[in-house]
C-alpha cells in the first residue's frame, strides 16, 4: 500500500529559508483545492505574517501522460489528445500539431484552409482572453466583468459549434487542411460578432482600467523585467508586458500571418496591470486580423489533395470502392511519414506553444514532446510573489494565465 505520510520539514530544507526551519515563518498550503489557483495547483507558501517569503509551485495533479499516449497512436488519432492540453485553446493546439505533421510530411495546405485557420485561431485567442479577463476580475472581486465576458465568449463558442459540431474539443484543423468547409452562414455570423466585440471591450475597460480598487490590486504587483522573462523562458503576454515586442506571428510567421497588418501590443511596467493591458489590446488586434482574413478569404478546397496522407472526400466514398478502401486503410493503419524530426511553434494565448515530433518511418510517432507556455509561466511564481501580501498571490496567478492541463500533461 502507498505510504501517505506527512512531508517533514527536513525534506523541504532545500526549498525554504532557515527561518522556516526555526519556526520563525509559517508554511501554508494554497491549493490544490482552491478556487483561485486556476486549476488543481498547490502552492507552498512561506509567510512572514502576511508577506510571502517563498512560493513553491507543486504540479502534477492532472498528469495524464499525454505525450507517451500520443506515441502509441497513429498521427491522425494522436491529434485528438491535443484538444485536452490547453482546453481554452483547442484549435490552437490542433493547429500547432498539424503544422508539425505537415512539416514532417511536406504536406501542402490550400489557401482557403490557411485563411480559415487564422480566423479560427484568432477567435480562439479572443475566447481565451475573455475567460482570462472574467476569471481574473472575479478573483479581484469584479464579478460583473466575469458575467459580461462570458456573454461574449458564448458567441464565439457558438461559431466553433457551427463549424466543428463541438464548442471546445473540436479537432477541426486536420493535417493538410480542415475537417470540412465552413457553413454558408459562417461569414455573416463572424461579422456580427466582430461588430459587437469592440463596444463590449470598451465596456470592460470602463469597468476596470481606471477603477481605483483594480489599480490598487494590480499596479506594482508581481513585477518582472525582460531579462527575468528571458532567463525563465517566458513568452506571450507576460513577456510583452515588459516591453519586449516578441510574437511568433511576426517573428516566425505561419499559416499566412505575414499577409495581415496588425500590431504587437506591449507595456513597460511588467506588473499585473501591464499584463491586463496587453491582453485587452491583443483582443482588439485579433479582431483586426479576423476582419482582414474575411476580406481576403479565397474560395476553393479546404483539404490537400495528397491522398498519401489525407483521406478522400466523403463525396467520393459513396461512389468509389477505391476511395472507400483508401479511407479505411488511412484510419485503421494510418500513414507513415519519412524518418526525421521537426519542431513547429505557434503563438498561443499564453505564449509559445511548440510540438516536437520524431518519426522512425512507422505509422506512429517515435517521440512526441510539447513545449507549453503554462509550464514555463509557473516557473515565475517564486519571483513574482516574493515580498507581496498573500492576498496578492491570487491576482498574480491570474495574471500569468495558466491552464494546468497545459502544464501537467
Strands (E), 244-362: 340-348, 351-359
Rounded to a whole number, what is the largest CA-CA distance in the chain? Answer: 79
Q: Where are the domains of the chain?
A: 9-58, 66-305+335-408
Which CATH code, of 3.40.50.11610, 3.40.50.12780, 3.30.420.40, 1.10.645.10, is assigned to 66-305+335-408? Answer: 1.10.645.10
Q: What is the pLDDT of residue 2?
A: 46
Among 338, 374, 334, which Cα is nearest to 353's?
A: 374
Q: What is the pTM of this model?
A: 0.92
CB atoms within 10 A of CB 407: 24
User: From the centroid of its chain, how far is CA 180?
Assistant: 23
CB atoms within 10 A of CB 16: 18
Give the Å distances, CA to CA, from 141 to 34, 136, 138, 144, 395: 16, 9, 5, 9, 10
Q: What is the pLDDT of residue 317?
A: 82
Angle at 370 (CA atoms; ends 270, 267), nearest 5 degrees: 15
User: From the centroid of its chain, how far is CA 194?
Assistant: 22
Q: What is the pLDDT along the chain (409 residues), one digit of tens a residue?
A: 445 456 666 666 667 777 767 778 888 888 787 766 677 888 989 899 999 999 989 888 888 889 999 999 999 999 999 988 888 999 999 999 999 999 999 999 999 999 999 999 999 999 999 999 999 888 888 889 999 999 999 999 999 999 999 888 889 999 999 999 999 999 999 999 999 999 999 999 999 999 999 999 999 999 999 999 999 999 999 999 999 999 999 999 999 999 999 999 999 999 999 999 999 999 999 999 999 999 999 999 999 988 888 888 878 888 888 888 888 888 888 889 999 999 999 999 999 999 999 999 999 999 999 999 999 999 999 999 999 999 999 999 999 989 888 888 7
Handedness of CA 393, 238, 370, 306 (dihedral sign): positive
Q: What is the pLDDT of residue 1?
A: 44
Q: What is the pLDDT of residue 40?
A: 84
Q: What is the pLDDT of residue 9?
A: 62
Q: What is the pLDDT of residue 249?
A: 96
Residue 52 φ/ψ, nearest 5 degrees: -80, 125
Amino acid at each position: 500500500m502507498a505510504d501517505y505520510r506527512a512531508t517533514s520539514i527536513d525534506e523541504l530544507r532545500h526549498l525554504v529559508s532557515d527561518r522556516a526551519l526555526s519556526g520563525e515563518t509559517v508554511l501554508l498550503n494554497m491549493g490544490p483545492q482552491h478556487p483561485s489557483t486556476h486549476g488543481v495547483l498547490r502552492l507552498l507558501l512561506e509567510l512572514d505574517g502576511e508577506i510571502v517569503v517563498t512560493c513553491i509551485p507543486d504540479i502534477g495533479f492532472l498528469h495524464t501522460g499525454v505525450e507517451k499516449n500520443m506515441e502509441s497512436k497513429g498521427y491522425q488519432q494522436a491529434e485528438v489528445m491535443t484538444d485536452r492540453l490547453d482546453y481554452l485553446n483547442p484549435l490552437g493546439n490542433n493547429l500547432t500539431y498539424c503544422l508539425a505533421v505537415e512539416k514532417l510530411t511536406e504536406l501542402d495546405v490550400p489557401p482557403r484552409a490557411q485563411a480559415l485557420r487564422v480566423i479560427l485561431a484568432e477567435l480562439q485567442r479572443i475566447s481565451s482572453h475573455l475567460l482570462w479577463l472574467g476569471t481574473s476580475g472575479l478573483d479581484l472581486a469584479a464579478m460583473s466583468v466575469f458575467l459580461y465576458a462570458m456573454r461574449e465568449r458564448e458567441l464565439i463558442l457558438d461559431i466553433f459549434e457551427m463549424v466543428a459540431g463541438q464548442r471546445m474539443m473540436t479537432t477541426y484543423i486536420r493535417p493538410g487542411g480542415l475537417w470540412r468547409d465552413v457553413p454558408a452562414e459562417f461569414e455573416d455570423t463572424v461579422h456580427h460578432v466582430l461588430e459587437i466585440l469592440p463596444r463590449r471591450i470598451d465596456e470592460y475597460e470602463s469597468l476596470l482600467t481606471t477603477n481605483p480598487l483594480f489599480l490598487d490590486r494590480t499596479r506594482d504587483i508581481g513585477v518582472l523585467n525582460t531579462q527575468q522573462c528571458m532567463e525563465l523562458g517566458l513568452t506571450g503576454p507576460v513577456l510583452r508586458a515588459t516591453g519586449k515586442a516578441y510574437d511568433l506571428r511576426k517573428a516566425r510567421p505561419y499559416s499566412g500571418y505575414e499577409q495581415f497588418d496588425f500590431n504587437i501590443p506591449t507595456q513597460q511596467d511588467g506588473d499585473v496591470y501591464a499584463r491586463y493591458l496587453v491582453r485587452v489590446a491583443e483582443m482588439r488586434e485579433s479582431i483586426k486580423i479576423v476582419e482582414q482574413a474575411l476580406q481576403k478569404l479565397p474560395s476553393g478546397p479546404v483539404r490537400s489533395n495528397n491522398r498519401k496522407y489525407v483521406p478522400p472526400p466523403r463525396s467520393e466514398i459513396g461512389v468509389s470502392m477505391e476511395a472507400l478502401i483508401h479511407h479505411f486503410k488511412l484510419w485503421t493503419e494510418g500513414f507513415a511519414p519519412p524518418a526525421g524530426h521537426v519542431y513547429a511553434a505557434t503563438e498561443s494565448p499564453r505564449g509559445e506553444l511548440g510540438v516536437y515530433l520524431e518519426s522512425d518511418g512507422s505509422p506512429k510517432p517515435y517521440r512526441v514532446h510539447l513545449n507549453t507556455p503554462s509550464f514555463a509561466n509557473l516557473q515565475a511564481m517564486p519571483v513574482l510573489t516574493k515580498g507581496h501580501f498573500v492576498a496578492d498571490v491570487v491576482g498574480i496567478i491570474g495574471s500569468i494565465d495558466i491552464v494546468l492541463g497545459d502544464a501537467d500533461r
